[in-house]
Amino acid sequence: MEVPVWQPISDLDPALRAHRDPELGSLGPVWQEQKQALGGNSAMTVFNERLARSWAVETGILEHLYTVDRGVTNLLIEQGFDAALIPHGSTGLPPQELTDMLEAHSDALEALFAFVARGRPLGTSFVKELHAVLTRAQRAVLVQDEGGRRFETPLRRGEWKVLPNNPRRADGTTYTYCPPVQVDSEMYRLIALHARLDGVAAEVRAAWLHHRFTQIHPFQDGNGRVARALATLEFLKDGLLPLVVDRENRGEYIAALETADAGDLHPLISLFARVERSALLRGMSLAEATLHESASLHESASFLAQQLRAAYLQPVAAAERADVIAQELMAIARNKFAQAERALAGAFERDGVAMDVGLSSSGEGNAHYFRAQIVATAKHFDYFANTRSARRWTRLHFRGLAGDTLRADIIVSAHAVGFAPKGAMACTAFVNQRFEREAQEAPEWQATPACDAPFTFSHAADVHALRQSFEAWLDRALAMAMHVLGTSL
């Protein structure tokens, strides 16, 4: 069966021109402030290097160019691309060949930063340059002829394809892309339409450019890497972080591209926005952590002075505005939990289950509850939850069954992000459940994340713009929490 992916490149749907992810839009200004505060510091250099290494590793894993387990990946990100760090036989490639490929990917990201710094307009010449750098360490490509015979052929770096490159999947499905004879004209059309996207949000520009480029598939190989590099370019233009679509996102990423082939770009936009939000949360936490690791005595002294000023001397207006938004979001969460409480109580009564379901929220005397669980959930999502600042929570509790053996809570928490909060906050959901242990031992409470990603916002957010996406996030969190409880009984 043939799946015709390619069609003449179309402009962005007018309905998407004004689309903006409210969470990402509110985090961006706070990240700019953070980046400016750390600008020129050696710690920021280290932080950017680690981001670049993560991008370099993951973009090849998505294409099945190599395999690298998490342990080796983390080692390479922390210490750099050194073949001596890679155990033989662990990646499917000789260690030196792998590091050469990773260095090429890293250099391509540097080229993107330089491109943005120089303010160059996007053109086909840069796309070709990008491909040549990304594939610098790749000597050949595996192809398949019409009879199904597979063989290697030299890779044409930085040149449009001259033969069809329609991949055939294991199930026999063939995906057809732009014919070679039309690549040049279609790429020029892509560039012309891209130039008309001024004022469109970065996540929308990135998704559109990535998808339309992959429809053309202009190169013999390496099109996925170039597409993700071009998507990253759009985020860098807005002062944001490289787009790291990692191995855990691969299934969702492929599905979103196939949905875009059918005419709906929304899933790809949503995925890119969520990945970027997560990166910003990690950035706001890790940038300062990196400073501790790499700073000189002078830098450490400066950092301490900045932190004291941020914590005690600077105006707290941004944090106060963010907390006002957090209060409104927790009110929405309480209403949503109240609906769930009524539905659950009715279901338990109908089915003869002796269970008490209750609802409570944080107040002046108990806002400090669940600190350890909030911190543990934030660590799961790889960012720093600042529990010294204002935090709020809403809880749905379950108490019952024989001997009161089931004691569990579904909790949504709103808390500040970063070591010195500057108005960025996150909401997470988790199940807090009591498990009985051996005789004479106190029961153990265990927190399990109940959301696919944190919900993020800042002092710059409009709570009305956040409401729809926050309610959708709450619905997913409640469903996940019920599943966690149901499978743990």
Q: Half-sphere exposure (CA, 13 Å, Cβ side) for 2?
A: 6
Same domain, residue pair 234 and 97: yes
Same domain, residue pair 346 and 264: no
Same domain, residue pair 352 and 241: no
Same domain, residue pair 376 and 458: yes
Confidence of residue 191 (pLDDT cuts 50, 70, 90): very high
DSSP type of residue 459: T
What are phi and psi for residue 395, nearest 5 degrees?
A: -130, 140
Q: Which residue has the higher pLDDT, 349 or 402?
A: 349
Confidence of residue 480 (pLDDT cuts 50, 70, 90): very high
pLDDT at 284 (0 to 100):
79
Same domain, residue pair 247 and 346: no
Instruction: Give the Cα separation of 384 and 378 in Å (integer).
Output: 6
Residue ending a domain, choose from 266, 287, 308:
287
Beta bridge partners of 406: 400
> Given a cut of 70, is residue 2 above it in pLDDT?
no
Instruction: Give the Cα separation of 444 and 372 in Å (integer).
Output: 13
Asked whether residue 78 is assigned to any structural domain, the reply reads yes
pLDDT at 46 (0 to 100):
77
> Given a cut of 70, is residue 449 above it in pLDDT?
yes
Residue ending a domain, choose from 287, 303, 337:
287
State the amino acid at position 445 in one-letter form. W
- Which whole number is the average pLDDT over 172-194? 90
Confidence of residue 306 (pLDDT cuts 50, 70, 90): low
Asked whether residue 295 is assigned to any structural domain, the reply reads no
Among the listed ranges 49-58, 164-173, 246-255, which one has the minimum average pLDDT value?
164-173
Output the CA–CA distances (angstroms, integers) from residue 485 to 8, 353, 355, 361, 414, in the order listed.
49, 15, 14, 20, 22
Asked whether residue 294 is assigned to any structural domain, the reply reads no
Among the listed ranges 149-158, 164-173, 441-450, which one has the minimum average pLDDT value?
164-173
Same domain, residue pair 22 and 133: yes
Q: How many domains are contained in the chain?
A: 2
Residue ending a domain, choose from 270, 287, 304:
287
pLDDT, averaged across the chain: 87
Q: What pTM, to 2 d.p., does this model score?
A: 0.85
Q: Residue 250 is part of a domain; what is its CATH number?
A: 1.10.3290.10
Same domain, residue pair 115 and 180: yes
Asked whether residue 74 is assigned to any structural domain, the reply reads yes
Same domain, residue pair 149 and 21: yes
Comparing CA positions, the residue from 426, 151, 405 lying closest to residue 278 is 426
Same domain, residue pair 379 and 479: yes
Asked whether residue 305 is assigned to any structural domain, the reply reads no
Q: Three-state DSSP class for 206?
A: helix
Asked whether residue 160 is assigned to any structural domain, the reply reads yes
> What H or E segment, with its residue span, contains residue 280?
helix 266-294
Q: Which residue has the higher pLDDT, 483 or 300?
A: 483
Asked whether residue 213 is assigned to any structural domain, the reply reads yes
- Strands 2-4 vs 150-154: parallel, antiparallel or unpaired: unpaired
Same domain, residue pair 40 and 176: yes
pLDDT at 50 (0 to 100):
87
Same domain, residue pair 279 and 361: no
Q: Half-sphere exposure (CA, 13 Å, Cβ side) for 332?
A: 21
Asked whether residue 303 is assigned to any structural domain, the reply reads no
Residue 376 in tokens:
């543990």
Residue 196 in tokens:
């008309």
Same domain, residue pair 278 and 379: no
> Given a cut of 50, is residue 313 above it in pLDDT?
no
Which residues span the domain enclosing 358? 316-488
Polymer length in residues for the chain: 489
